[in-house]
């Protein structure tokens, strides 16, 4: 059976999906989990998500953490090209011998720095061919005057000034400090990288930079010595290779610094990306990480086996559903004629029990995972369609059908079903309360159809609480009808014969029947006898109200009737029973003892012979009247 196969597979599938949900922790739907494809970058994504979590945890520290620092290029406020020209510059028109003479003269004067100014002042005051200080002729000291003329030549003075300026500038340079600052920046950057590399996706390696400190310092010392040498012999051209070597070393070092700074800038961009990340909620990130791990574990041996089983079950279900669709189509075609006949039969019975109700739009539907077929229909009440669900839009069964209507609907369905099923002669049919207090309007129709069923079925059992309905049904059945009842005895119940004739009597007739039965059978205890004694007065009163309906009113009792008889005259209707007055009075006095108006009525002694005598006296009195 397709339905059972579907149910079996669905049960196995539910068990399978429960195990899968234990793996997914309900963070991924089972369908999505089963359909997941292997992701070759899953480990990379997991690591990236872990990094996001670390960033989220350290969000405040990341925002306030410094970026990496660039190293400044090594630069000097010196025109090295001009310096090279100064070093290479020579003055051939000046003799080093004369220069030395002036230097010796300056030393001889022992005036320190003032010696040169003193000599210049004197030299500038020379007039004609005599000394401005001693007025002696130059002819007596031609060599010293020639030396002065060369020493104070403008070109020589400018050269000396340039050399002195470069010497001062170079002396100001503190290369040890510059190199130590570079080392300091590299150290700081490496410490910052120790922090940032924890949060970088691709990792941040320490950028390499090697500063040739010893070579720079050695070349710098050689340059200073070269400047000193030039200042000692300004007029001589010196080799500039030392300067070139120093410049080359600095340029190579700056090239390394540029490369280092390019790496620092690249790292800084990555760090800025980390800083710019708007941190997600930590719980969200941890959920995303958990999902990534679940996706990775999807391809473990256990998970793959569960997913393959799930796929196989889905495939089987699809195949069964396709077969079920074909079966449904056949069922639909088969049921159309049946539905039409059933609809006609149900509405036929409804027309007998509740003609304002009709069944409409009967059709086959399916429900449940195995698509259990069921019949759906609508109701029409007084030509108005009503719904079975209270949708606050239109009328619904809850408010449009009385309990009697609902009972009529159920009764009609059952009768139609019996008729459709057929083979009634082999069926035992049981009705439980086919008529209630809400269904008095369909009592006759129900009795008719029950009697008809009784003649067709093997056996018909009707259970009811309605004694009037039971009596009428019993009378219609006439013969071959067994009446039984469920009675109680202390803490148990039992089935006993039910005398429909006497049990269904009411009022006066029931009281007459009670008196007749006592005369025939007696009673087992005083309590029953007292109850029988209490029936005597109602029997007389009931009879007299019928016999003298104009004289004995409904609100009058036996005592009042006796008074009217006692006071009656020859022309009164009641006068004709006046000779029976003593009998009425005697019976009334006897009944008073057991009347409920007597507080001690339940304890009054009662005797069988006396009770029997008064019952017979009552019945004889009625016969006489």
pLDDT in tens, 521-546: 888 888 888 888 888 888 888 878 77
Residue 181 has a pLDDT of: 92
Indicate the range of 261-270, 345-354, 426-435, 589-598 predicted with least confidence: 589-598
Residue 120 has a pLDDT of: 58
Residue 393 has a pLDDT of: 66
Q: Name which residue leads in pLDDT, 308 or 97.
A: 308
Domain spans in the chain, listed from the N-terminal domain onward: 1-35+301-421, 37-91+160-297, 95-152, 423-504, 508-624
Residue 512 has a pLDDT of: 75
pLDDT greater than 90 at residue 245? yes
Cα separation, 573 vs 567, in Å, equals: 12
pLDDT in tens, 448-496: 888 888 888 889 888 888 777 887 788 788 667 888 888 888 788 888 8
Topology, domain 423-504: Rossmann fold (3.40.50)
Binned at pLDDT 50, 70 and 90, residue 432 comes out as confident
Cα separation, 431 vs 465, in Å, equals: 12
Binned at pLDDT 50, 70 and 90, residue 183 comes out as very high
Binned at pLDDT 50, 70 and 90, residue 146 comes out as very low
Quote the tokens at residue 480.
């071959």
Identify whether the C-beta of residue 163 lies closer than 8 Å to the C-beta of residue 86.
Answer: yes
Residue 177 has a pLDDT of: 92
Residue 253 has a pLDDT of: 92
Model confidence, pTM: 0.39
Phi-psi region for residue 422, left (φ > 0), alpha (ψ -120 to 50) or beta? left
Helix (H) or strand (E) segment spanning residue 409 = helix 403-421
pLDDT greater than 90 at residue 259? yes
Q: Name which residue leads in pLDDT, 223 or 275.
A: 223
Query: What is the residue-averaged pLDDT of the chain?
Result: 79
Quote the tokens at residue 202.
């691709």
Nearest CA among 94, 55, 302 for reference residue 198: 55
b/e 258-275 (16+ beta carbons within 10 angstroms → b): eebbebbeebbebbeebb
Quote the tokens at residue 263.
């790496």
Helix (H) or strand (E) segment spanning residue 387 = none
Residue 482 has a pLDDT of: 86
pLDDT in tens, 551-586: 777 777 878 888 888 888 888 888 888 888 888 888
User: What average pLDDT does the segment 150-171 reach?
Assistant: 72
pLDDT greater than 60 at residue 140? no
Residue 258 has a pLDDT of: 93
Give burial (CB, 10 Å; 0-12/13-18/19+) of 505.
middle
pLDDT in tens, 381-392: 888 888 776 666
Binned at pLDDT 50, 70 and 90, residue 149 comes out as very low
Cα separation, 170 vs 172, in Å, equals: 5
User: What average pLDDT does the segment 266-277 reach?
Assistant: 83
Residue 544 has a pLDDT of: 80
How many degrees, rounded to 5, is the angle at CA 566 between CA 560 and CA 569? Answer: 120
pLDDT greater than 80 at residue 205? yes
Residue 226 has a pLDDT of: 87
Residue 323 has a pLDDT of: 80
Quote the tokens at residue 235.
């007029």
Q: Name which residue leads in pLDDT, 147 or 500.
A: 500
Q: Name which residue leads in pLDDT, 245 or 62.
A: 245
Quote the tokens at residue 206.
């320490």
Indicate the range of 215-229, 300-314, 323-337 predicted with least confidence: 323-337
Cα separation, 194 vs 65, in Å, equals: 12
Binned at pLDDT 50, 70 and 90, residue 262 comes out as very high
Nearest CA among 144, 148, 162 for reference residue 234: 162
What is the separation, in whole angstroms, between the first and last Cα of the chain?
A: 81
pLDDT in tens, 27-76: 888 899 888 888 888 888 888 888 777 777 767 677 778 889 999 999 88
User: What average pLDDT does the segment 334-363 reach?
Assistant: 79
User: What average pLDDT does the segment 413-430 reach?
Assistant: 87
Phi-psi region for residue 401, left (φ > 0), alpha (ψ -120 to 50) or beta? beta
């Amino acid at each position: 059976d397709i339905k059972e196969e579907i149910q079996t597979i669905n049960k196995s599938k539910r068990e399978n999906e429960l195990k899968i949900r234990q793996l997914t922790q309900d963070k991924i739907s089972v369908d999505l989990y089963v359909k997941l494809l292997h992701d070759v970058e899953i480990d990379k994504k997991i690591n990236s998500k872990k990094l996001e979590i670390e960033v989220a945890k350290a969000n405040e520290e990341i925002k306030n953490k410094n970026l990496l620092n660039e190293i400044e290029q090594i630069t000097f406020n010196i025109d090295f090209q001009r310096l090279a020209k100064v070093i290479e510059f020579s003055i051939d028109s000046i003799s080093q011998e004369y220069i030395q003479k002036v230097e010796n003269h300056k030393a001889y004067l022992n005036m320190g720095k003032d010696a040169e100014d003193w000599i210049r002042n004197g030299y500038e005051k020379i007039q004609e061919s005599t000394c401005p200080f001693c007025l002696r002729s130059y002819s007596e000291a031609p060599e010293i005057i020639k030396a002065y003329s060369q020493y104070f030549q403008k070109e020589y003075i400018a050269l000396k000034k340039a050399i002195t300026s470069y010497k001062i500038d170079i002396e100001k340079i503190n290369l040890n400090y510059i190199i130590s600052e570079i080392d300091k920046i590299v150290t700081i950057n490496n410490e910052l990288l120790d922090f940032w590399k924890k949060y970088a996706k691709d990792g941040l390696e320490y950028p390499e930079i090697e500063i040739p400190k010893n070579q720079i310092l050695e070349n710098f010392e050689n340059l200073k010595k070269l400047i000193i040498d030039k200042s000692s012999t300004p007029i001589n051209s010196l080799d500039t290779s030392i300067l070139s070597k120093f410049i080359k070393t600095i340029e190579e070092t700056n090239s390394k610094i540029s490369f280092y700074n390019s790496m620092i800038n690249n790292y800084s961009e990555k760090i800025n990306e980390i800083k710019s990340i708007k941190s997600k909620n930590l719980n969200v990130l941890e959920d995303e990480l958990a999902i990534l791990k679940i996706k990775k574990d999807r391809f473990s041996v256990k998970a793959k086996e569960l997913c393959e089983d799930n796929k196989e079950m889905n495939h089987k279900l699809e195949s069964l559903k396709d077969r079920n669709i074909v079966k449904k189509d056949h069922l639909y075609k088969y049921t159309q004629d049946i539905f039409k006949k059933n609809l006609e039969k149900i509405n036929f019975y409804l027309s007998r029990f509740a003609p304002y109700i009709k069944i409409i739009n009967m059709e086959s539907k399916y429900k449940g995972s195995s698509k259990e077929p069921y019949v759906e229909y609508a109701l029409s009440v007084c030509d108005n369609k009503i719904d079975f669900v209270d949708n606050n839009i239109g009328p619904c069964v809850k408010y449009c059908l009385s309990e009697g209507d609902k009972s009529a609907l159920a009764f009609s369905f059952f009768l139609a079903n019996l008729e459709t099923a057929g083979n009634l002669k082999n069926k035992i049919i049981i009705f439980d309360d086919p008529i209630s207090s809400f269904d008095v309007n369909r009592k006759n129709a129900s009795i008719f159809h029950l009697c008809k069923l009784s003649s067709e079925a093997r056996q018909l059992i009707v259970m009811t609480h309605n004694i009037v309905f039971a009596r009428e049904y019993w009378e219609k059945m006439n013969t071959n009808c067994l009446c039984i009842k469920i009675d109680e005895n202390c803490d148990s119940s039992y089935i006993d014969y039910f005398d429909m004739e006497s049990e269904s009597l009411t009022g006066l007739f029931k009281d007459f029947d009670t008196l007749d039965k006592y005369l025939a059978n007696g009673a087992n205890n005083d309590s029953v006898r007292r109850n029988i004694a209490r029936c005597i007065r109602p029997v007389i009163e009931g009879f007299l109200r019928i016999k003298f309906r104009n004289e004995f009113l409904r609100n009058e009792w036996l005592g009042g009737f006796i008074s009217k008889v006692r006071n009656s005259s020859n022309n009164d209707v009641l006068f004709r029973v006046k000779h029976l007055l003593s009998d009425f009075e005697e019976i009334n006095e006897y009944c008073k003892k057991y009347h409920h108006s007597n507080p001690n009525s339940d304890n009054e002694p009662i005797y069988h012979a006396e009770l029997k005598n008064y019952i017979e006296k009552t019945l004889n009195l009625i016969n006489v009247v």
